[in-house]
């Protein structure tokens, strides 16, 4: 019953925007760091952004700083990833994940710390 469900992916032109959503159920969402990861064909899983359980600490990969914004709404058990100025290199499957052991100091780069994962949503940036 514990699950994370991503939505909002799709096809967008370079320079466009998308907002991804990650809705959680079955666990204490407000006690978890939530992270966004992505994986492109032939590449390793990459940490994109993560947010602390309280929403007061957010981190971003250098490749998306200034373009992506993570936020959370605990009343809706949902974390969002607003993606602006999208580039072709942003094309990937995007996953959200939960980390209950590090609720106050989120780490985006170490995916093995995240115990709950969604199935992913596809983002394609192309002309």
pLDDT in tens, 66-120: 999 999 998 999 999 999 999 999 999 999 999 988 889 888 989 999 999 999 9
Dist CA 49 CA 34 (whole Å): 9
What letter does residue 58 receive in the DSSP assignment? Answer: E
Residues with Cβ within 8 Å of residue 32, at least 6 apart in sequence: 24, 53, 98, 99, 100, 103, 116
Structure token pair of residue 5: 């469900």
Please name the residue that has the structure tokens 């466009």.
16
Dist CA 70 CA 75 (whole Å): 16
Please name the residue that has the structure tokens 């780069």.
109
* Confidence band for 28, pLDDT divided at 50, 70 and 90: confident
Q: What is the pLDDT of residue 74?
A: 87
């Amino acid at each position: 019953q514990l699950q994370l469900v991503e939505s909002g992916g799709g096809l967008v032109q370079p320079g466009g925007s998308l907002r991804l959503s990650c809705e959680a159920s079955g666990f204490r969402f407000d006690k978890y760091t939530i992270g966004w990861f992505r994986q492109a064909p032939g590449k390793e899983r990459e940490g994109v952004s993560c947010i602390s359980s309280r929403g007061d600490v957010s981190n971003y990969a250098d490749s998306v700083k200034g373009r992506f914004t993570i936020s959370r709404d605990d009343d809706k058990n949902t974390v969002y990833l607003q993606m602006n100025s999208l580039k072709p290199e942003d094309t990937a499957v995007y996953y959200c994940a939960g980390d209950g052991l590090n609720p106050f100091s989120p780490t985006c780069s170490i995916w093995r710390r995240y115990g709950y994962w969604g199935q992913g949503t596809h983002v394609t940036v192309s002309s």
